Amino acid sequence: MLLFAQCLLLVASFSFAGCNKGAPVKVGTVLPLSGEFAIYGEPIRKGIDLAFEDITTGGGYPIRLELDIQDSQGDPERAVELLTELYDDGSPAVIGGVTTEEAIAMVSEADARDRVLLSPSASSPRLSGISTNFFRVFPSDFLEGTKMGHFATETLNMKTAVIVAAESPYAKGIQQVFRQEFERRGGKVLEVIEYPRNTSDLGGVLERVMTLDPDATYLADYADGLVTLLEGLQERGYEGKTLTTSSIASAEVRDKAGKATEGVLFTQSAYDVDSEDPHVQEFVQAYRDKYGSSPDLYAAHGYDAMKVYAEALRVGGRRSRDFWQGMRSINSFAGVTGTIQFDEQGDVQKYPRVYIIQNGQFVDYDKVLEERRKALEERRRELERRMRELERQRRALEGSGQEG
C-alpha cells in the first residue's frame, strides 16, 4: 500500500512538472530605463513586455519563462555589471545593448561567459562581426549611411553637404559611412563639424552651418542632440535639406522638437504603423490597447527581440550553447520590422528606406514621389483635355465663320 502511494506521488510530481514545463528560463534584459537614453529604452521595454505577454499567454509556448528587466541608466559600466548578474542567475542569453556604447562594453562579458547578447537597437558598423556571441535585430548603420548618401546625390541631386556629428562611437560610425557614399557619388562634403556629447550650447556649430550654406546638412546624434540641432536650424531659417538617422524615429523626439522636424529626411528599416501587413496591424493594435499610443521604431524592435529570443530558445534549448545554435538556425522569421535572419557577423539583413516627416507623421519618401508622379500625370491629362477643348472650340468658330 505504501509503495502504491509512493508511486502515485511520483506520477503526480512528474505530471505537475509537465504541466509547468519544467523550471522557468530567466529572460534577462538590460535597458536604459532612466537617464537620457530612456527615450529609447522605455519603448523597447514596452515592446518586450507585449511580446512576452503574447508568448506566455494561452499555453502554446512549451517553455516556462520569467522576465527580468534591469535598468542600466544608460551607463555602459553598470550595463556590464547587470549583464554579469543575469548570466550568474541563469539567463542563457540577455537582451541588451540599446546604445552602441553599452553594446560594445557588454560584448566582452558575453564572450567571457560564452553566452549570447541580443541587441534590440545598437547599430554601429563597429559591432559587425565583433563577436560570434553578438546578434542584433536592428540593421547596421553601414546600410543606413550608405542609403542616405546615395539618396542625397541621386534622388535629391545634392551637390554639397555639411556633416554635424556628436563625438560618440555611434555618430562617428554612421557619419563616416554617409560621407564615403556621398563623395563616392560626386558630392562634396564642405566640412565635418564634431562636438562633445551632451553639449547644450551648439550655437557656434549652427552658425558655422549657416555660413557654409550647404545644399544639405547631415545630423548624427542621439535624441537630445538632434532636438537641439533641429530647433537651432529652424530658428536660423536654414533653407537647405536636413538629413538624419533613425535616432529621430523616437516618438518623443517629434514631441520635443515639434515643427522643427517638419520636412526632415531620415533613414530607417521599413516599419510602418499604417502597414497593411496583418502581422504588423495586430502588433500595432495590441500595443495601442495596452499603452494607449502607437508603437515607434524602438518599441517594434523590442517586440521582435523578445520574439527572436523565444524562438531561439524553442528550437535550440535552454543551455547557452544550445541557445546559440537556436539563434543560428533562425531563418526568414517574420518580425514586425521585417523578415529576420542573421548573417555570419550576427547582423540582420533589413534594408532601410528614406522617410520624410510631414505634419508630424513619418511618410515613406517613395510614396511621396509616387503621389507627385500621379499629380503630375493628372495635371498633364488635364492640360491635354483643355487643349482638345480649345481645339474643338477653334474649329467650331472657324466653322461658324465659314457659314457666315
Alpha-carbon span 297 to 244, nearest angstrom: 15
pLDDT at 343 over 60: yes
User: Which has the closest alpha carbon to 223: 237, 201, 244?
Assistant: 244
Segment 145-155 mean pLDDT? 97
Percent of the chain with pLDDT over 70: 92
On average, the pLDDT of the chain sits at: 90
Residue 218 sits in the same domain as residue 111? no
pLDDT band at 214 (very low <50, low <70, confident <90, very high): very high
Looking up residue 205, the CATH number of its domain turns out to be 3.40.50.2300
Residue 119 sits in the same domain as residue 166? no
Alpha-carbon span 251 to 356, nearest angstrom: 14
**Bridging pattern class, strands 241-244 and 216-220:** parallel
Tell whether 1 is covered by a domain.
Answer: no
Note the pLDDT tens digit of each residue in 9-48. 443 333 333 344 578 999 999 999 999 999 999 999 999 9
Note the pLDDT tens digit of each residue in 58-112. 889 999 999 999 999 999 999 999 999 999 999 999 999 999 999 999 999 999 9
Note the pLDDT tens digit of each residue in 366-389. 887 777 676 676 777 778 788 888
Tell whether 285 is covered by a domain.
Answer: yes
Tell whether 14 is covered by a domain.
Answer: no
Residue 290 sits in the same domain as residue 263? no
Note the pLDDT tens digit of each residue in 131-143. 999 999 999 999 9
The three-point CA angle 103-109-115 to 5° equals: 95
Alpha-carbon span 193 to 61, nearest angstrom: 51
Residue 150 sits in the same domain as residue 253? yes
Please state the domain count of the chain. Answer: 3
Residue 27 sits in the same domain as residue 110? yes
Residue 27 sits in the same domain as residue 88? yes
Tell whether 120 is covered by a domain.
Answer: yes
Residue 89 sits in the same domain as residue 121? yes
Residue 164 sits in the same domain as residue 85? no
- Would the pTM of this model clear 0.75, i.e. be above it? yes
Q: Please tell me the predicted confidence (pLDDT) of residue 374.
A: 67
Q: Please tell me the predicted confidence (pLDDT) of residue 119.
A: 98
Residue 260 sits in the same domain as residue 316? no
Tell whether 3 is covered by a domain.
Answer: no
Alpha-carbon span 357 to 262, nearest angstrom: 5
pLDDT at 401 over 70: no
Domain end call among 209, 241, 268: 268
Alpha-carbon span 341 to 173, nearest angstrom: 23
Domain end call among 268, 291, 309: 268
Segment 188-194 mean pLDDT? 98
Residue 260 sits in the same domain as residue 150? yes
Sign for the pseudo-dihedral over CA of 259, 265, 269, 270: positive
Q: Are 50 and 287 in contact, with CB atoms under 8 Å apart?
A: yes
In the chain, the largest separation of any two C-alpha atoms, in whole Å, equals 126
Residue 128 sits in the same domain as residue 36? yes
Q: Please tell me the predicted confidence (pLDDT) of residue 294.
A: 94
Tell whether 226 is covered by a domain.
Answer: yes
Helix 297-315 / helix 278-291 crossing angle, nearest 10 deg: 110
Q: How far is CA 213 from each of CA 39, 204, 240, 242, rounded to the nearest angstrom?
A: 32, 14, 8, 12
9: left (phi over 0), alpha (psi -120 to 50) or beta: alpha
Residue 66 sits in the same domain as residue 181? no
Tell whether 6 is covered by a domain.
Answer: no
User: Which has the closest alpha carbon to 145: 166, 121, 170, 168?
Assistant: 170
Alpha-carbon span 359 to 370, nearest angstrom: 18
Domain end call among 236, 268, 300: 268
pLDDT at 229 over 70: yes
Amino acid at 213: D
Domain that holds residue 397: 366-404
Residue 87 phi/psi, 5-degree rounding, is -60, -45
Mean pLDDT lowest among 7-21, 128-142, 325-339, 356-370: 7-21
Tell whether 273 is covered by a domain.
Answer: no
